[in-house]
Amino acid sequence: MNPLKNKLVVSTVIAGCAALLGTTNAFAQTTAEEDAEAPVSEECLAFRADIDADIGDIMRAGCEPTLAQMAKLMDNPLGSVAMLFTQFDVYKLENPTNGKEATQGNYMGIFQFPKKLNEKWNLINRVIWNVPSVPLDQNKLDAFDNRFATLEGGAVSPPPNLPAPIDLFDGRTEGFGDLYYVGLFAKSKPEDVLNGKLVWGLGFDLSFPTASEDVLGTGKYSAGPSAILAYLGPKWKYGGLVTHYWDYSGDRDRDDVNFTNFQYLYYYSLNPTTSIGAAPNILIDWEQDSDDRVTLPIGMGINKTINIGKVPVRFGFEAFYSAVQPDNIVGSKWSYRIYIIPAVPSALFKWMQ
């Protein structure tokens, strides 16, 4: 694989890892419509008055959780809630060799669901897929590889370190990207710390070379460890998820995979249904030179939780600026994220129990 093609592959992998933690972060409360509902049993009224009531207990009693209770459950990245993240990211890319700019997009879906292992432990499952759109023409890159191919041991492969006689931002390729899975073992009950809750989990991650085009994925099977730690206070929420990937199989002509993704979060609740903050991704590609290894964004955004019918849904927007980015390979100075997150209690599904 030629090195210039790999520049955009790295960017696509970054997009594919982004938002593994997600942005589940707004507090909410019982709506006026809920308050107006009548009649309800004394048991259900008691559950409504307890923001920390167990959602499973609420539903087994024949009651419905309030928006406040569901929102607080969604605030917990390891909570007993099934969520479908629908996320759109836009990256403003710059080619450092000539200063030319282009836009890369990525749609990402994350299906998160818990599986109860026993009374104390859950396995939090996250299945992640993405559909990238990169400013490279796969056909032109293939033609370049074929033009300079050499015969080695009966197999055709491109020679390394050849400059591509094409514009790096010339054309566009869209399609399905690599598939990811993150599994986290976590306690079913958060720990009380100060005035809030502390949640943590340890686990593993996997990636699969499902990309429809070379520039949309790594061409490798990868795996590694993962861990999460977060504090959920009355107003502030902060913490982070770290995942690391090493390749162990795949296309031998593709570059090795050895990178770390650390998504850190910081949110402040303005009111029961609105928060400000962000969840940027610090990315470290250990295969690059030291000057091109780290991308460190900072950001700010706003999100709001509402009910659509009886389903709580979060809408949010965030913008990021890369305070540190690669010097000699394609990088993103600015990026933008829009997300929509519907959620339902896992207690609705027997197979999650």
CB atoms within 10 A of CB 88: 14
| Contact predicate 295/325, CB 8 Å | yes
Residue with tokens 């009531």: 53
Cis peptide bond N-terminal to 160, omega within 30: no
* Greater model confidence, 41 or 13: 41
- Per residue in 176-201, pLDDT (tens digit) is 999 999 999 999 888 999 889 999 99
| Contact predicate 287/258, CB 8 Å | yes
- Which of 33-42, 88-97, 199-208, 268-277 shows the lowest mean pLDDT across its residues? 33-42
Q: Please give the pLDDT value at position 111.
A: 95
Q: Please give the pLDDT value at position 284.
A: 95
d(CA 73, CA 122): 15
- Per residue in 5-32, pLDDT (tens digit) is 444 544 444 444 444 454 444 333 344 4
d(CA 161, CA 159): 7
Residue 291 one-letter amino acid: D
Q: Please give the pLDDT value at position 168.
A: 61
Whole-structure pTM value: 0.81
SS3 state at 100: coil
Rounded percentage of the chain residues whose pLDDT exceeds 70 = 80
| Contact predicate 20/151, CB 8 Å | no
Mean pLDDT for 47-74 is 78
Residue 163 one-letter amino acid: P
Q: If you average pLDDT over every residue of the chain, what do you get? A: 81
In the chain, domain spans: 3-29+66-352
> Which CATH number does 3-29+66-352 carry?
2.40.160.40
- Per residue in 88-145, pLDDT (tens digit) is 999 998 877 777 888 999 999 999 999 999 989 999 999 999 999 988 877 766 665 5
